[in-house]
């Protein structure tokens, strides 16, 4: 009887150990996603700006982002969904590999944070539409981990007139 109990206890601790190791692995994979998003987003090379201009915009009334200034850019894959004026085409569905970066600025010179949308449906951090959501400070500090799959972002970005979650067109005609 006592042996049985010991066996059960040993089994329990082994399982707990395996579970702990696995969840650590998951955290590591998740933070690698954030790191990758950060590296891809902090360079402006190869991006096209919303409405073809890098001028700063004042945040819109509908913004869920605290910083007063912003500007948004699209990597070459995402830019295929822009029209000649640099606005998102009506009904656009962004292809795999699309990266959209909104720079959030505290004042007219300093970027405080990047808000990132990266279409990568194979990622473990992807939401149901294949988007990975990043929210990372300019110094690399992760504000909202990608592993949260945009839980703090999606409901607002699903509002009427969004285009594949994009809201720039709605607030900046």
What residue ranges bind ligand HEC (CB under 6 A)? 59-60, 62-65, 70, 72, 100, 102, 115-117, 133, 135, 144, 152-153, 156-157, 166-168, 171
Question: What separation in angstroms does the CA of 125 have from each of 18, 55, 102, 118?
Answer: 22, 32, 19, 10
Give the residue with the Cβ less far from ligand HEC, 111 or 116.
116
Give the residue with the Cβ less far from ligand HEC, 10 or 66.
66
Of all residues in the shown chain, the one whose CB is closest to ligand HEC is 64
The structure tokens listed for 100 are 């959209």
Give the residue with the Cβ less far from ligand HEC, 31 or 60.
60
Q: Are 120 and 96 in contact (CB under 8 A)?
A: yes
Residue 29: CB minimum distance to ligand HEC, A: 19
* CA-based nearest residue to 94, from 114, 77, 115, 73: 77
Residue 58: CB minimum distance to ligand HEC, A: 8
Give the residue with the Cβ less far from ligand HEC, 1 or 173.
173
Q: Are 171 and 63 in contact (CB under 8 A)?
A: yes
Residue 27: CB minimum distance to ligand HEC, A: 19
What is the rounded distance in angstroms from the CA atom of residue 138 to the CA atom of residue 116? Answer: 12
Residue 10: CB minimum distance to ligand HEC, A: 44
Question: What separation in angstroms does the CA of 24 have from each of 6, 21, 63, 70, 142?
Answer: 27, 5, 35, 35, 17
Residue 45: CB minimum distance to ligand HEC, A: 18
């Amino acid at each position: 009887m006592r042996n049985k109990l010991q066996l059960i206890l040993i089994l329990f601790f082994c399982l707990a150990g395996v579970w702990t190791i696995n969840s650590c692995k998951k955290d590591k994979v998740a933070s690698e996603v954030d790191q990758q998003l950060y590296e891809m987003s902090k360079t402006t090379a190869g991006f096209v700006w919303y409405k073809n201009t890098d001028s700063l915009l004042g945040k819109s009334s509908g913004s869920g982002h605290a910083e007063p200034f912003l500007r948004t850019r699209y990597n070459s894959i995402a830019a295929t969904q822009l029209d000649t004026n640099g606005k998102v085409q009506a009904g656009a569905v962004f292809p795999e590999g699309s990266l959209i970066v909104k720079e959030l600025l505290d004042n007219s010179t300093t970027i405080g944070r990047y808000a990132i949308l990266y279409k990568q449906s194979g990622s473990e951090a992807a939401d149901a539409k294949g988007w990975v959501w990043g929210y990372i400070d300019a110094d690399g500090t992760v504000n909202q981990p990608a592993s949260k799959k945009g839980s703090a972002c999606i409901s607002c970005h699903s509002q009427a007139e969004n285009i594949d979650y994009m809201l720039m067109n709605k607030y900046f005609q």
